[in-house]
Amino acid sequence: MTKTRFLALVTALALLLAIPTSVFAQRVPPHVFVGTVTLDGAGVVDGGAVTAWIDGEQVASANASGGNYSIQVDQGDGSYAGKTVSFKVAGADAGTADWMQGGGTILNLAGVTASSGSEGAEGSKGARGGRGLTGADGKDGKDGKDGAWGAAGDPGPAGPAGSDGSAGPTGSAGYAGSAGSDGSAGPAGPAGAAGADGSGGIIGIIALIVAAVALLAAGGSYMMGRRA
């Protein structure tokens, strides 16, 4: 039993050594091209040859079917990254494209024979141009709306005192006061001399009247002095 297992192990080892090492190598994804195919403006008959070339060497081939083609370009031993793939239809140049790992491109091929005077196939897309010059500055935009009022600031210090104002106009005169009360009676005048008997009685009466008038005049002067 042990001998049988040993022979089986040796046989398995021999089979593993016989497998090519290329099977274990990681395969680079190919670039697949598909599209329509014409020759001198007419559809290519079924079975027409479509070939792909890189650096003057044929790297893939396919046959047209229903006016279409599908061709797979493997990288092979070298590196095709960035290289140009040229296509031919029945030996006539039909278009070009750049090879890209794992790429998938729709490319319509149009072959033109040397004897045909028709327009050639459209060339491949050129490289992207450099960045252009910066344009002139645009016009200023409209002013925006006024913003909201900010919070009130702290009150400032008190200002200096103002100068005194000029004197106002003189006020109007007040009303006259009321009359004062009568003053007290003045002192009695001196007694007149005694008149003579008889005719002297009339003179005495006259003298008495004059004394009374004098007394009244003195009292009136006194009152007028108090009122003043």
pLDDT in tens, the chain (228 residues): 444 444 444 344 444 444 444 444 567 889 999 999 999 888 889 999 999 999 999 999 999 999 999 999 998 777 888 899 999 999 999 999 999 988 899 999 999 986 544 455 565 565 665 666 666 777 777 887 887 887 887 888 887 887 887 887 877 776 776 776 776 776 776 765 654 554 556 777 787 887 777 777 776 666 776 666
Asked whether residue 102 is domain-assigned, the answer is: yes
Asked whether residue 50 is domain-assigned, the answer is: yes
Asked whether residue 59 is domain-assigned, the answer is: yes
For 27, the token pair is 């395969």
Asked whether residue 201 is domain-assigned, the answer is: yes
For 39, the token pair is 């020759």
CATH of the domain at 96: 2.60.40.10
For 157, the token pair is 């210090």
Tell me the whole-structure pTM to 2 decimals. 0.41
Strands (E) across the chain are located at 31-39, 42-43, 49-54, 57-63, 68-73, 84-89, 92-98, 104-106, 109-111
Last residue of a domain, one of 111, 141, 158: 111
Domain boundaries, position 218: 192-228
- Per the structure, the count of domains in the chain is 2
